[in-house]
Structure 1
Amino acid sequence: MTNTEIATKAPESDAQETSTPPSSEPSSATATTAPAPAPTSSSPKLSEHCTSDRPAPVGQSSTGEIRKLNDVDVYISKPADYPHAPARLLLLLTGGTGLQSVNNQIQADRFASDGNFLVVMPDLFNGDPAPNSRAAAEFESEVQSSGSSSLLDAFRLKAAETAKSFLIDMWLARHTEEKVLPLLERVLDGARDEFADAVTNGGGVYGVGYCFGARYILLLAAERQKNGQRNQQGGSGNDEEANRPATTPPQLKAGALAHATMVSKEDFSGLKAPLSVVCVENDPMFPDEVRVAGEEYMSSNGVEHEVQVYPGVPHGFAVVGEYDDANIKVAQATAYDQMLNWLKEH
């Protein structure tokens, strides 16, 4: 049964915080809104918020450790009372800023500090986080705000945009599903071995993902064929009777994701695990068309889910980081509670 969508009402952020205009009414499953256009070859693939961190929370630092797990670098954050008190295993998948981001590490620590979850956050990019294009973005904003119309500024602006897009495209080509999924499978194998008590206690592995990592929560929460493709027909995939490749069950017991990027309608195929989804209103990185198709798939296939749309906040708002706008701070805390409570309840 689909929970009614709710939204955290927030006005447009200050000039330093990119956001979408606020709605006058909270978003809902029955609200009539103009769908965002489907992504095209010229549509953005990753937001600046996916590749650059906000300032870290004042006075906070990470408390976990980085080490190898099945030959993959991971950040591990444990509850204070673990292993004396039982915990469940949570796989946290980041946006493009990756493993070394202090904000991502603090995000993992927050889930661990609740006391219910031992958090494993893998390096999805093998030491190659997304190119930080904030300098190009700041120059673009400076030229646009100055109102300059000189040919030189126009040329420089176009060059900055082209360079930013090229760097992101090249980075995405290095981090495809064919590379990321096997890495995640190694991490899951190692985590099930080392933290078998947490897996047993939770009855499986839980997952939470942001931006780039959010798509992989969808893939891991789905029944997939042995070759890695999602099973679009459903069922157990008996290869002797149906003459098709055998399938692997979902790798997650339950998942939560926030402001996903690079997600297509097909990525919902085969989804089985309960899912909580945090969305940004009018987000070109996760268009309404894709979101609605995902909701329809989950509803028609009996996948327990909730989808909540937050207006007036920037893409990436749910990741730890400071904002001047108090309403964005409230939305960030609300989104965290949404995801945490969903995982705890499942």
Structure 2
Amino acid sequence: MGPDGETISPCCTTGHLHEGHPTGSYRYIDGFQVYYKRPPNNSSENAVILFTDAMGHAYRNNRLLADNFAANGFFVVMPDLFRGDAVPDIVSAGFSASKWLMSHGSQQTEPIVRAVIEEMRKHGCRFVAGAGYCFGAKYVMRYLQDGALDAGFIAHPNWFDSDDALCIKKPLCVVAGENDEVFTGQHRRQMEKLLKTTGVPYQMTVYSGVQHGFAVRCDPKKATEVFAKEQAFNQAIQWFKFHLKTGTRFVGQ
């Protein structure tokens, strides 16, 4: 168990590597690396920060995901949340999940998140949304609390704090898998109950027949998993574009 109470289940680090050739670029912000990709119009006005799962920003699936956000009109920045220490594609027998988590708690990760958001705002990103997968989901929720992010989307979070859900002040879309052993049905119902109390627009969608990690590492040979992954991505795009158009205004703001 990590310093923030979360754990890594085997399903957080397993899945299928997808085919494709990422076309984004790398740069450094305050000493850590980010992967970024500009949209077809080359604008940075409307942006998405992609907070990855434990596999990190260099994992091919995550880079392809970032490229897809860019293809849909967003300037995408995907930071290395682990400073070169992401969980490897093939986990060795000696890998210690608990030790890894101890090295990547909020104290180590939040300075990276803050630096990325500040850098993007400083360089003309007017609308900044957060898309978080597994490990990265909780940071989307935390930065919806103070307006640092304008809208959020999370897929199969590996852990969340009740206060994170209760304190959000911007719209949040949540997608989950029916057979998720980490973000279980009980967790989904708990989160929905908490989100209802906030008065903030939210959406909760459950896809049948899929497990934890489906939105990033689905089996490309299984039509049900591919459908769920593609629909979850489309939800993120439509959620962001709707709140971009409406200015993320809602009753009580």
Shorter-chain TM-score tier: 0.7 to 0.9
Aligned counterpart, 1:82: 42
Distance 1:337 1:288 in 2: 23
- How far 1:53 moved relative to its partner? 5.1
Distance 2:54 2:11 in 1: 9
Distance 1:133 1:266 in 2: 34
Distance 1:177 1:110 in 2: 28
Segments of structure 1 that go 5 or more residues without pairing to the other structure are 1-38, 137-162, 223-248
Distance 2:100 2:191 in 1: 27
**Is 1:118–2:75 an aligned residue pair?**
yes
- How far 1:134 moved relative to its partner? 4.9
Is the 1:47–1:315 contact (alpha carbons within 8 Å) kept by the matching residues of 2? no
Aligned counterpart, 1:48: 10
Q: Please, which of 176, 187, 190 is the counterpart of residue 119 of structure 2?
A: 190
Larger radius of gyration: 1
**Is 1:345–2:242 an aligned residue pair?**
yes
- How far 1:268 moved relative to its partner? 1.2
Local SS of the residue matching 2:81: coil
Partner letter of residue 174 of structure 1? S
| TM-score, normalised by the number of residues in structure 1 | 0.65
Aligned counterpart, 2:143: 220
Q: Please, which of 332, 338, 344 is the counterpart of residue 229 of structure 2?
A: 332
Distance 2:79 2:225 in 1: 27
Flag as ranges the 4+ runs of structure 1 deviating above 6 A: none
Is the 2:18–2:220 contact (alpha carbons within 8 Å) kept by the matching residues of 1? no
**Is 1:103–2:61 an aligned residue pair?**
yes
Aligned counterpart, 1:144: none
Local SS of the residue matching 2:70: helix
Aligned counterpart, 2:23: 63
Is the 1:70–1:190 contact (alpha carbons within 8 Å) kept by the matching residues of 2? no
Aligned counterpart, 1:24: none
Output the aligned Cα RMSD: 2.2
Distance 1:126 1:192 in 2: 22
Equivalent residues in 2 for 1:1-346, closer than 5 Å: 45-52=7-14, 54-57=16-19, 60-83=20-43, 87-115=45-73, 117-132=74-89, 134=91, 167-194=96-123, 196=124, 199-200=125-126, 202=127, 205-222=128-145, 249-319=146-216, 322-346=219-243
Is the 1:72–1:187 contact (alpha carbons within 8 Å) kept by the matching residues of 2? no
Is the 2:218–2:225 contact (alpha carbons within 8 Å) kept by the matching residues of 1? no
- How far 1:276 moved relative to its partner? 0.4
Segments of structure 2 that go 5 or more residues without pairing to the other structure are 244-253
Distance 1:288 1:128 in 2: 31
Is the 1:106–1:320 contact (alpha carbons within 8 Å) kept by the matching residues of 2? no
Is the 2:7–2:101 contact (alpha carbons within 8 Å) kept by the matching residues of 1? no
Distance 2:36 2:15 in 1: 20
Local SS of the residue matching 1:206: strand
Q: Of the two structures, which has the highest relative contact order with CA contacts closer than 8 Å and spacing of 6 or more?
A: 1
Is the 1:279–1:310 contact (alpha carbons within 8 Å) kept by the matching residues of 2? yes
